[in-house]
Chain A
Amino acid sequence: MRINYKHLLVVASAAVMTFVACDKDDDKPVIRTATSVTDLAADTAAATGQGAKAPRYFTFATQTLSATGTDSSKWDISFTSTYNGNVTASNGKIALVDTAFDALTTAPADTAFKYATVGIDGFGQTGWYVYNMTTHIVSPKANRTIVLRTAAGKYAKLQMISLYKGNPAAPTLQTPVPYLTFKYFVQANGSRNLTTIQ
């Protein structure tokens, strides 16, 4: 069997960097991989035809999704509206950067945090997913990354991947929704450095 040395090298260096990479800011080893959340059931109880969904609140540190969000210091992002697809940060400010998730290395300037909530793109709005009026299928915009600050004020980047159960390649109208699949990275040291390793 031919060994793909190039591939091995990449894997090996990624592993090394994951464990020992040093952050320029404070020289402590940090974990630089994103956290993935798969098929998190949001408000699946409401029939799809009945419009808006009951909101859900997600906390990065505990990876928990809750139906109550009265204390905005307890959650980092909320999922509201159609298919629970509208994302809001606890401080009400979101930036959208047209860069692939892993290619985004730095949080943008404060002025970029100009969206209160991001959901649909088009129809006069800017957001993370496109809605096809013929097929009624929601799909994420490629290379668009959400940047926000957590309840504790840390910079974080977020990529919404799917609202459909199982994140199928070709979801249909009958695919169960909303099941949230996304990945995120929180820069724990408070800097704007959002570099991650795949």
Chain B
Amino acid sequence: MCLNRYFITILLCAAFSSLSAQKDTTQQPHDLEEVVVTATRTDNLSSKVPVPVTVISRKIIDQMGSRRLDEVLREQTGLALVADASGAGHGSGLQLQGFDPAYTMIMIDGQPLIGRTSGKLDLSRITVADIERIEIIKGASSCLYGSDALAGVVNIITRKPLSSTSYSAGLRYGTYNTLDATLEGGLPFNHNKGHISLSGNYYRTDGFNANPDAQQANTVLPYNSYTLQARAGYLLNSRNRLNFSARWAHLQQSNDYGYTQGITTSDKTSEKDLNIMATLENRLRDSSQLKTQYYLTRYGTNEEISNKGTGVALEDNFFTQYMNRLELQYNKQLYTSLMFTGGVGGTLESLEATRYTEKRNMESIFAYVQGDWKVGEKIGVLGGLRYDRNNIYGDQLSPKLAVRYTPNEMINFKASVGRGFKAPDFRQSYLSFTNAQVGYTVLGTEEFGAGLQQLQDAGEIVSVLPAASRIRSLSPERSTSYNAGFTLTPTRKVKIEANVFRNDVTDLINTITVAEKTNGWQVYSYVNVSKARMQGVEVNASWQLLRGLTLSGGYQLLYAKNRDVTDSIKAGQGAYASITDNSGHTRTSRESDYYGIENRSRHMGNLRLFYEYKPWGLNASVRANYRGKYGYSDTNGNLFIDDYDRFVKGYTLLNASVGKTFLNNRLAVQLAVDNITGHMDAFIPNLAGRVYNAGITWKFVKQ
């Protein structure tokens, strides 16, 4: 049985790691202290980086008792973990500054994770084991990372090697039969010239049902997941270091449901995710640095749908995506004040899936430069430019300019403007799909000519509409993002950060009707047509009340609007010009009627209290997270969210944890309760009820 095989693998790894292994947590920076971030692709103090960066440290992750990445991110200011309420896709994706999950790049050590369903990367599939910290960069970051870094970037930084042997074992168990087991170990060798570390994680859950009225299956399905991570590094000589890392995650999920009386359908999904990275770091004679990196990632799913009673196969779906990337990055300190970063690289991607006619390839090359100029002590200027050339969507230039002004120790101003883009996804280019339940057809732009011809030959087309002439290869979706704010530290114990943001998005890809079918339905394809604007304010503050006791809070105000809607309302004509109230009375829409894009809360906030009493090894936290009401669906038929539509009510989640360490910090125990009030809502499929979990961790560090 597959499960056993993997379990044995984990045990073997564990055995191996206990023989040698090791790892320890380095001293975590205090909440109000400076942290080093890689937001500019070179290590930099967070206060010197002129773009908005949030850092979540290992210590915070541990104190929250989190097991999966979604659990960590959902408690951060301005981030929402969103799911499909329809059950069309499972898992939780990240909404950042009002952008859908498709517009934020998720990276591990600077290289992107792939494998998105409808643009959403399910963050519950990522374990937080082996993570050192998480950096969240808000605002368009395509100037460094290319496509998909349009809303921002989440970069997961894995643990750094230590100079002594260490190992640890952790076990957590809680509500919904959720088990999380981690074994980690690290070992330096050859007089600290080399190191190797391994980490294995097993996670399983029964899932839960947030919407018992609607279905027989859970809204979060039962699944189990294994993640194995390995890293090794070797200092070849005083100037050259070779690093290697690999990650393998395998998730299995099953679901039984009954569309029809007496027949149960079994749906089994297996998801495999592989990431391999090899890096050669050279310190050149003039003390400049050259980093050569090769990255390979593969993401694949297999779904088998069958009749549970008879075992007859009904559907077999697969999805396989590869990405290969070779990249060179060069850093040089020019004079004492200017840090130059430049890079070139190439990416090969391929995708094969049930709904695509054949295997598809995408090739791109890119080059970027960045200058980080510290104009004296008070002013810093960061400028960057990236060029991407792709075989499908052509050329892209992504500039960024950011400035920092630090007049004194108390205040630090930051402002940045940047361009971001997101390549059309494979689906928009290559989909060839006819909905069997309903009867419409969707054709990706590259499939359009052949697909339409095929339908015409089959006599399924009544008429081709003039709009069909607009179908051509898609351009990327683009945005210009503006961020401006300040950090105020009036005393060593208080820190207040504020940031105003605006993202103007153009060329959003939308479906249009291109032909009428004989069955009364339509053929759709995609064009770059829509515009949107996401703007708002984010404020974060923390205050060290007493030694070890920190109170912090955050708030985001967001206006996320589709400009097609606002333009149509302003013009008093078009698709969105009328509105029907609850009594069936129809009138002209007003701008104030438009609440904003679905699934965006205007107000979000959090308040947290973290306490630590070092002499006793005691820590505790109480956290409240508020998500204000948001539009769920249009019910009065004018295709935008107004007061007469369905909303999800605002809610507050209360979480708490208490932990204690024993035996010189070697043994740690923790008890955590999430969602204390047990708030659940049929319209929030990924929100669990009250969850208790208890954990125990054993760490060993050879002195």
Report which A residues bind B (CB closer than 8 A): 41, 44-51, 82-83, 98-100, 103, 121-125, 130-137, 139, 141-143, 164, 166, 168-177
Q: Is B637 an interface residue (CB 8 A)?
A: yes
Residue of B nearest to A141 (CB): B637
Bound form: Cα–Cα A142–B585 in Å: 11
Bound form: Cα–Cα A86–B214 in Å: 22
Residue of B nearest to A43 (CB): B260
Question: Contact flags (1/0) for B633-665 with A, using CB distance below 8 Å?
Answer: 111110000001000000000000000000000
On whether the beta carbons of A49 and B637 are closer than 8 Å, the reply is no
Residue of A nearest to B217 (CB): A174
Contacts beyond the supplied A49-B314, A168-B211, A174-B87: 12 A-B pairs with Cβ under 8 Å:
A48-B437, A123-B521, A130-B634, A134-B118, A135-B86, A136-B437, A143-B582, A169-B214, A169-B683, A171-B215, A172-B85, A172-B215
Are A46 and B260 also in contact (CB < 8 A) when A142-B636, A143-B580, A143-B636 are? yes
Q: Which residues of B in the span 498-532 have a Cβ within 8 Å of any Cβ on A?
A: 511, 513, 516, 520-522
* Contact among B85, B437, B582, B635 for A135, CB-based, below 8 A: B85
Q: Decide if the interface of chain A is mainly helix, strand, loop or mixed.
A: loop
On whether the beta carbons of A132 and B86 are closer than 8 Å, the reply is yes
Q: Is B259 an interface residue (CB 8 A)?
A: yes
Enumerate chain B residues within 8 angstroms of A47, measured Cβ to Cβ: 259-260, 263, 314
On whether the beta carbons of B213 and A168 are closer than 8 Å, the reply is yes
Enumerate chain B residues within 8 angstroms of A98, measured Cβ to Cβ: 580, 584, 586
Bound form: Cα–Cα A166–B435 in Å: 25
On whether the beta carbons of A130 and B682 are closer than 8 Å, the reply is no
Residue of A nearest to B218 (CB): A174
Q: Is B261 an interface residue (CB 8 A)?
A: yes
Enumerate chain B residues within 8 angstroms of A131, measured Cβ to Cβ: 438
Are A168 and B86 also in contact (CB < 8 A) when A44-B261, A176-B259 are? no
Residue of A nearest to B118 (CB): A134
Enumerate chain A residues within 8 angstroms of B635, measured Cβ to Cβ: 139, 141-142
Minimal beta-carbon separation of A47 from chain B (angstroms): 6
Bound form: Cα–Cα A123–B257 in Å: 30
Q: Decide if the interface of chain B is mainly helix, strand, loop or mixed.
A: loop
Minimal beta-carbon separation of B213 from chain A (angstroms): 4
* Contact among A51, A99, A132, A169 for B437, CB-based, below 8 A: A51
Bound form: Cα–Cα A42–B567 in Å: 43
Bound form: Cα–Cα A83–B260 in Å: 12
Enumerate chain A residues within 8 angstroms of B211, measured Cβ to Cβ: 168, 170, 172
Bound form: Cα–Cα A124–B467 in Å: 15
On whether the beta carbons of B214 and A166 are closer than 8 Å, the reply is yes
On whether the beta carbons of A45 and B516 are closer than 8 Å, the reply is no
Q: Is B310 an interface residue (CB 8 A)?
A: no
Enumerate chain B residues within 8 angstroms of A50, measured Cβ to Cβ: 436
Bound form: Cα–Cα A44–B262 in Å: 10
Residue of B nearest to A122 (CB): B637
Minimal beta-carbon separation of A2 from chain B (angstroms): 26
Bound form: Cα–Cα A108–B636 in Å: 21
Question: Contact flags (1/0) for B210-235 with A, using CB distance below 8 Å?
Answer: 01011111010000000000000000
Nearest 10 CB-CB pairings of A with B: A135-B86, A172-B87, A168-B214, A143-B584, A168-B213, A170-B682, A99-B584, A174-B257, A174-B215, A175-B214
Bound form: Cα–Cα A169–B520 in Å: 29
Minimal beta-carbon separation of B27 from chain A (angstroms): 47
Question: Contact flags (1/0) for B605-639 with A, using CB distance below 8 Å?
Answer: 00000000000000000000000000001111100
Residue of A nearest to B260 (CB): A44
Enumerate chain A residues within 8 angstroms of B315, measured Cβ to Cβ: 49
Minimal beta-carbon separation of A61 from chain B (angstroms): 27
Enumerate chain B residues within 8 angstroms of A134, measured Cβ to Cβ: 86, 88, 118
Are A139 and B633 also in contact (CB < 8 A) when A47-B260, A170-B85 are? yes
* Contact among B582, B584, B682 for A169, CB-based, below 8 A: B682
On whether the beta carbons of A45 and B86 are closer than 8 Å, the reply is no
Bound form: Cα–Cα A102–B586 in Å: 18
Some 30 contacts from A to B, beta carbons below 8 A apart, are: A47-B260, A48-B259, A49-B315, A50-B436, A124-B516, A125-B520, A132-B86, A134-B86, A135-B88, A136-B88, A136-B437, A141-B636, A143-B582, A143-B583, A143-B584, A164-B214, A168-B213, A168-B214, A168-B215, A169-B213, A169-B682, A170-B85, A170-B214, A172-B211, A172-B219, A173-B88, A174-B87, A174-B217, A174-B255, A176-B259
